[in-house]
Chain A
């Protein structure tokens, strides 16, 4: 059995070990089950509305829906605030990515403020505010409901896909 003197090998392994120990990265926030659960809840409430409103909504039904609009808008605004205030990793890697993009003349990504779940919920919030406003002034057509539902589904799936992916296991 061949022997190797320890000095060089040990030096190499010590360096590698110290580097490895400090090199783990974090590029996205931690998974938060409360945020995930809130997304599921918002989805449930919204799907109920779309099911009821499938064939459009008469102007006269605004009063019966007013509380729902206020409630869903409030829930989404509250969730966006949660998304805004959760800890975000201070990553040198993300900063380097942006420096590289800037160097190549490409638009940089504000990772913290443009998190997929936040962008998606902001789009949904605008839709609900418009729906409330439109309904308060007149009826909502079947076409508007169809478009709104599909837009909602697409955006919510983006948020859920990203948030569940944060569960790294």
Chain B
């Protein structure tokens, strides 16, 4: 579209005011999000598996003194789309909203990427190609002739390594060039492309790939294949998965003991000081108590108990993600899930759920089939999130595997494997009842293993998680603590409201092998699972003296004094694993499904499982004892 002179002046004037927009598109898993992060400084969560980005992200960066909007589109294999996310990417590309489009390609897997390059450059005249992961290609002895590629494609081509800012200079130059160029852009796919032309794309791609790619080593994928033979091997694959899980959990347990103690001591001393300060300033006793015993106690607990496990688990998990292990997990587990009417990608969403169930539910977008996506959403809460880890770890180390982190890790691994089994069973049941259907068409891309930037991951993860825990503690735990303190200090007939409510739930609690206090602790920790133990303690010790996170010995004493036995601990562990999703997750489920009915089902499913397991366990216990 060539503008006539008068229009052109208006166009230039208008555009000078409006912020320019550049969109990043490309096949899944080529490093668009990493590039986006490097340019904008935002911290979008990245990982080495296809489909990681499920919605477009927007950020800004400076180019030649101007602020430019950068859009990171979800990966798409072609403009003739398949899933809603790819549809969104396609719509954006064709909308004309982007002033320039950068098609990001993987230097180690260029041929297939070219198919999308052909499509986009046919309809968009302000496009350029950024061949990413050039450092990985170099490591493998793969060389790409960028100049020749540019000549063959008739668009600018640059080579970059997305996470290294210094390699981006040529890309920035190309972007400047595109934004200042005078040509118009875009048209509809159907007007620009015809079937005959599209049919020639694969052959053209192959031809171009042969011309521009050269390998200095005969088999650049040798390392990947060797690693895959171990990771997906028939005999080693499954044990390796269990071992990795156990290892992850053991490191989490081992790595949290001492930091938790240090944190809680620090916060205890700080709490004393604050308390003294408040009293010195003549603060009314009631307000002092509410703030110190209510707000501060819960805050201190949550931080000292939740931060260390998260600070260990998340970096380790991110490391696995970045290396590219997760798609292999989906590959190994596809068959069992297929037998239950779902697909291997559900395993990925479950792995995400181990970190946070809300994130796991959003991640279900990687599953193409709506029915299988729903299966994954409804069962995600059966995987215990990081908020529930402290509960599980505490109870296991106090009652089941006292003193041995190795045994505790083994028990926790078994418990999570139980969660996996229940998920499979629930998925199968749903597939035969309310979500009837056959397994759908399934494809999974296994990307090349990539060398993770360990230092960067550790620092970024630690920082992210600390911020997250603190923010959550302020916004959820603190108010909850205040509310609880009020409930435990207001009452009638010498009993607080909290204690009265606990009494109401006593029969229900007992029938499940627990008690009333535990039941309302579960109910009241709905906003944040990690507040369960502080709430429980508050119920048990209403109107007590100041007591910031007790040592494990003290905690054990308190629980025993209130009638706990090892079997109570087991019941609580079972119910922790299987009960209604937390508030954030419920909200996310509603957002993703748009259906109150589905959200209700998602709340009911794990709860019913939990009730069932607790009842059966209680039954077995009473049978064994009699």
Partners in one complex: no
Task: Write the residues of chain B forming the contact surface with A, with a CB cutoff of 8 angstroms.
Answer: none
